[in-house]
Structure 1
Amino acid sequence: MSWRGDIAMGKYGKLPCALIDNNMFPGVEVDCGSIVVACPCCGSQIPCLDIRFIDARDRLSDEVRKRTGVHMPVYPEKCPVCGLDIVHDVCDEG
């Protein structure tokens, strides 16, 4: 499945899912890269998404910050090797 599909399915929590919703944010363009971080418990490499949100109106701006948008690293909820909880989304609590 693609990164958009993973986000839409809620794999990375509710906030990224809401931010890529074109109905909520029609003027925001979304792009994605990837980064790798080390698990603080076992040291294994954890793949993470680096989602970039860019306001379409700022695409041609003179300011670099506006042209590159806002970066949001998105981590999986658990380390795939040792199972350490990485993300705790309080919105998921009932």
Structure 2
Amino acid sequence: MNELTTLERRALQSISTPDGNMLIVAADQRNGMKAAIKDAPHGSDAITREELAEVKADLVRHLANHAPAILLDPEVALPGIVDDGVLSR
């Protein structure tokens, strides 16, 4: 196993909990999230790109700002989440 550089070690620490575990919110899926929204009470058969982007922004607001890392897709979630200041860090 290769020894981590200082930069790599700091990067790993920034996405890990104080105990060294990785806690990552995965919001990079599109089709799976669309299916979950569709199956939810009051869900719609046709989820627009804008609706999906808002759901992902809500995940960031309520979950990801408290997690060390979040996976986001560039097609729907980004750059809006960053540009709109939804992601605090």
Return the structure number with greater relative CO, CA threshold 8 A, min gap 6.
2
Structure (1/2) with the larger strand percentage: 1
Shared fold (TM-score, shorter chain, > 0.5): no
State the TM-score, normalized to the length of structure 2.
Answer: 0.24
State the TM-score, normalized to the length of structure 1.
Answer: 0.23
Structure (1/2) with the larger helix percentage: 2
Between structure 1 and structure 2, the one with the greater Rg is 2
